[in-house]
Amino acid sequence: MVTQSYDEVFRPLGLTAMQFYLLMEIQTARGITPSVLAERAGLDLTTLSRSLALLERNGWVESGTGEDRRSKQFQLTKKGAALVKRAFPKWQAAQQQALAQLGPGAWESLRPLLERLTTGTTEQR
């Protein structure tokens, strides 16, 4: 449900929440490899490859060869950077709305639970 609300915010830009997340990671990491990006996004490489191919087709990212020439690295294009710049305020507004709906202190309580879900950790903090 949370992802759907973010998808709705990004829809006028032709973007999904996951695509926005990937673009932000690519922008931040500059020259990120698919394996690192997949790990950060919690995606398998096949799913990520399909997503990256779409981002490339849309002209938002471009790939280049990595240090060992066998690996790819991704970076934003000018078009992708412009899209992130337009999308970021929409993300901020959606984030503020989600936090307001959760209520005071809820995010601080929810965050460790979400981390346990994504890491597979069963210990409580």
Q: What is the pTM of this model?
A: 0.82
Find out whether 79 and 30 touch, Cβ atoms under 8 Å.
no
Over the stretch 10-68, which tens digit does the pLDDT of each residue have?
999 999 999 999 999 999 998 899 999 999 998 999 999 999 999 999 999 999 876 66
Amino acid symbol at 115: E
The SS3 assignment for 24 reads: helix
**CA 38 to CA 14: how far, in whole Å?**
22
DSSP letter at 33 equals: -
Q: Which of 67, 100, 89, 102 is nearest to 12 (CA)?
A: 89
- Name the architecture of domain 2-119: Orthogonal Bundle (1.10)
Provide the residue count of the chain: 125
Mind listing the pLDDT tens digit for each residue in 52-99? 999 999 999 999 876 666 678 999 999 999 999 999 999 999 988 888
